[in-house]
Amino acid sequence: MCSGRIDLSFVLKAFFNGNDGVYIAACKLDECNYTTHGNYHALKMVMLCKKIMEYLRLNPNRLRMEFLSAADGNKFAATVEDFTNEIKSIGVFGKSEGFENTDDLKSKISKVMTLVPYIKIVTREKLLAPISRNREDWEDIFTVEEIREMFENVPSYYIEPDKCRACGTCFRSCPADAIIGGKKLIHIIDQSKCIKCGTCYNACPPKFSAITKLIGKDVPKRIPEEERSIEKRKVKEA
């Protein structure tokens, strides 16, 4: 399998499951068998994940990526052994980082896992940009500061019941099927499915402007199902 197919969520899930370390072996840079250079994509994903790990107070050395060819059997064995010894010296997942209860760390990782689509949107430009072959430059692709800012500014989207006209534009445009629609029914965003992409916010017709973007604020409670009818709401307001 091409290393470019290794998703950020795969690595996070591995740590969520309590693994002490994750080792990724990829083709040598500029020697891609499929001309897609997926190893460069994987490299940027790894560097992003390492900064997220720092943000979570999880030792980033628990994640390692090596570039190997099919002829590098000895190097593969040596790097795996070296990584295994390094993980042993770091210690048990979460414990050496000062988490008395690893469930607290797993809870943090779980929250980040739900935000993977949002993370990809925010970091899209850097993930797609060319990358230097100089290893010293890799560490600066992402910074802990920008990761912190990204998580502190996670948006939520809410459909204002009084403004929604059930036109269905947001419902049809949502890539995550996170909007509960219905004919002549006030639409609702299912926050558990929302990937924070903002597609609905941009798609909502300006004449309605029914969707509000919230940052640092709690999302209002969903309106009761019996109050979703636009016709009944008009009568009630009249």
Specify the CATH number for the domain of residue 212: 3.30.70.20
Q: Are residues 142 and 165 in the same domain?
A: no
Residue 8 has pLDDT above 90, yes or no: yes
How far apart (Å, rounded) are the C-alpha atoms in residues 34 and 160? 48
Closest C-alpha among 56, 64, 77 to residue 11:
64
Dig out the tokens for 122 from the structure.
Answer: 């925010």
Q: Are residues 196 and 230 in the same domain?
A: yes
Q: Are residues 84 and 24 in the same domain?
A: yes
Q: Are residues 97 and 146 in the same domain?
A: yes
How far apart (Å, rounded) are the C-alpha atoms in residues 226 and 73? 65
Among the candidates 127, 152, 177, a domain finishes at 152
Alpha helix positions (H), the chain: 8-16, 38-55, 73-90, 102-114, 116-122, 124-128, 135-138, 144-152, 169-173, 199-203, 230-237
> Model's pTM, two decimal places?
0.86
How far apart (Å, rounded) are the C-alpha atoms in residues 189 and 211? 10
pLDDT at 133: 83
Q: Are residues 117 and 181 in the same domain?
A: no
Residue 235 has pLDDT above 60, yes or no: no
Q: Mean pLDDT over residues 21-48, rounded? A: 90
Do 184 and 229 form a contact (C-beta atoms < 8 A)? yes
pLDDT at 109: 96
Q: Are residues 135 and 167 in the same domain?
A: no
Q: Name the residue with tokens 């403004």.
A: 163
Instruction: Work out the pLDDT band at 233, boundaries 50, 70, 90.
Output: low
pLDDT greater at residue 191 or residue 30: 191
Q: Name the DSSP class of 184.
A: T
Among the candidates 108, 128, 152, a domain finishes at 152
pLDDT at 177: 96
Q: Are residues 211 and 148 in the same domain?
A: no
Provide the residue range defining the domain that includes 45: 3-152
- What is the length of the chain? 238
Q: Are residues 106 and 224 in the same domain?
A: no
Least confident of 48-57, 80-89, 156-165, 224-233: 224-233
Closest C-alpha among 227, 190, 186 to residue 208:
186
Residue 18 has pLDDT above 60, yes or no: yes
pLDDT at 234: 59
Number of independent structural domains in the chain = 2
The enclosing H or E element of 63 equals: strand 63-68
Among the candidates 126, 152, 178, a domain finishes at 152
Tens-digit pLDDT profile for residues 49-96: 999 999 999 999 999 999 999 899 999 999 999 999 999 999 999 999
Q: What is the largest CA-CA distance in the chain?
A: 79
Tens-digit pLDDT profile for residues 108-131: 999 999 999 999 999 999 999 988
Q: Are residues 119 and 231 in the same domain?
A: no
Q: Are residues 36 and 113 in the same domain?
A: yes
The enclosing H or E element of 156 equals: strand 155-159
